[in-house]
Amino acid sequence: MTGRLFMIGCDKCKEWFHMSCVGIKRHQKLPSKWFCKKCLPSESVGNVLQKKSTPSFNHDQQLQAKLKVQEEQMSLVQQMLNAMKGAMEEKLASITSQLSNAQEKNKIIESLLQQLKKKDEALEDLTSQISLLKEHLSKECKENSILMEALRESEEKYKIQLQSKEGVIASLKEQFDKVAVEPHETPTSQIYQPNAPLEDNVITPFDTNQLVPKGGHTFLQFTNAQNVAGKNNGTHGSQAHNPLQKNETASKLERGKKLKSLSLSKKQPSKRFNISASASQPPPNVKSQYDLADEEDFISLK
């Protein structure tokens, strides 16, 4: 490549030109710089070199302007950094406060978790106890059901027995009512006669429980009459003045009245008195309600 075709860029205006167009040789170039015709002054090459060796005033102004712009930018950046720093500090303070609150809440949550664990353990104990109680209750319910069935069966048996007994009692009442309704004849020899001799009024021990209707006197009345006769004769004066003896006689009279109001046909007549065979007797080996009353009165007399 020849020098005529060699292209050089102007260091001032940034334009490209041929080396032949400049009209200078390669050794006449400025150190590390080339200038075109527009930028090259009319002076000699030495003057051009002298001028180019001194710094330009415009370049310093541009640099100062750039420095000012950079300083302004740096101040703006510093302000932005300060604002961001304040915001970050505020955020950091809020984060630290939230962190402390979260730690406190974590402590509360841990305590609640411990309480829940204790409650869970208590619930497990309660469930185990409830299961045991259910088992015991089921066993008791089964036993109670068995007992209830047994009680029902026994109750049914007792009801059947009561019904049978009620039937027997009803039949016995009918028989005793028939016996009480039928009339009885009483011999006159059983009637006590005050003016008759004592031998005629003697009654055997078996006949003491016999009842005499139609205004007749019983054995109790006979003994009371004897006591009254002895009082009039002065033989039983000490007994007459005794109040206990009076009470006994009164009670005996009341018992005699009760015995008199009962039925006449209860036992077989004595051999000394002739009672008519028309009087019906109750069935053997069966005690009527009148027999029971007589037994109670006889025991009380003893």
Task: Please tell me the distance from the alpha carbon of residue 202 to that of residue 179, in angstroms, as a whole number.
Answer: 29
Residue 146 has what pLDDT? 92
The answer, yes or no, to whether residue 291 has pLDDT greater than 50, is: yes
The answer, yes or no, to whether residue 283 has pLDDT greater than 90, is: no
pLDDT, tens digit, 9 for 90 and up, residues 133-147 = 999 999 999 999 999
Range name among 72-81, 94-103, 147-156, 293-302 with the lowest pLDDT average = 293-302
What's the chain's average pLDDT? 67
Which of 32-41, 84-93, 158-167, 218-227 shows the highest mean pLDDT? 84-93
Residue 122 has what pLDDT? 92
Instruction: Decide: pTM greater than 0.75.
Output: no
Task: Please tell me the distance from the alpha carbon of residue 290 to that of residue 173, in angstroms, as a whole number.
Answer: 11
Range name among 30-44, 170-184, 189-203 with the lowest pLDDT average = 189-203
Give residue 241's Cα distance to chain centre: 76
Q: Mind spelling out the 3-state secondary structure of 164-212?
A: HHHHHHHHHHHHHHHHHHCCCCCCHHHCCCCCCCCCCCCCCHHHHHCCC
Cβ(259)–Cβ(231) below 8 Å: no
- Residues 84-99 have a mean pLDDT of 92
- Would you give the end-to-end CA distance of the chain in angstroms? 179
pLDDT, tens digit, 9 for 90 and up, residues 12-22 = 777 776 665 55
| DSSP 3-state of 3 | helix
The answer, yes or no, to whether residue 279 has pLDDT greater than 50, is: no
Cβ(9)–Cβ(34) below 8 Å: yes
pLDDT category at 114 given cuts 50, 70, 90 is very high
The answer, yes or no, to whether residue 31 has pLDDT greater than 90, is: no
Burial of 16 (0-12, 13-18, 19+ CB in 10 A): exposed
pLDDT category at 71 given cuts 50, 70, 90 is confident
Residues in the chain: 302
Backbone angles phi and psi of 276, in degrees to 5:
-65, 145
Task: Please tell me the distance from the alpha carbon of residue 36 to that of residue 15, in angstroms, as a whole number.
Answer: 8
Q: Tell me the sheet residues that pair with 9.
A: 16
Q: Tell me the sheet residues that pair with 33.
A: 30
Tell which wins on pLDDT, 8 or 161.
161
Residue 87 has what pLDDT? 92
Q: If you ran DSSP here, which 8-state letter would residue 282 be given?
A: P
Tell which wins on pLDDT, 57 or 63.
63
Task: Please tell me the distance from the alpha carbon of residue 220 to that of residue 217, in angstroms, as a whole number.
Answer: 8
Of 216, 239, 219, nearest to 228 by C-alpha is 239
Cβ(259)–Cβ(211) below 8 Å: yes
Q: Half-sphere exposure of 226 toward its Cβ, with a 13 Å CA cutoff?
A: 11
Q: How many CB atoms lie within 10 A of CB 269?
A: 18
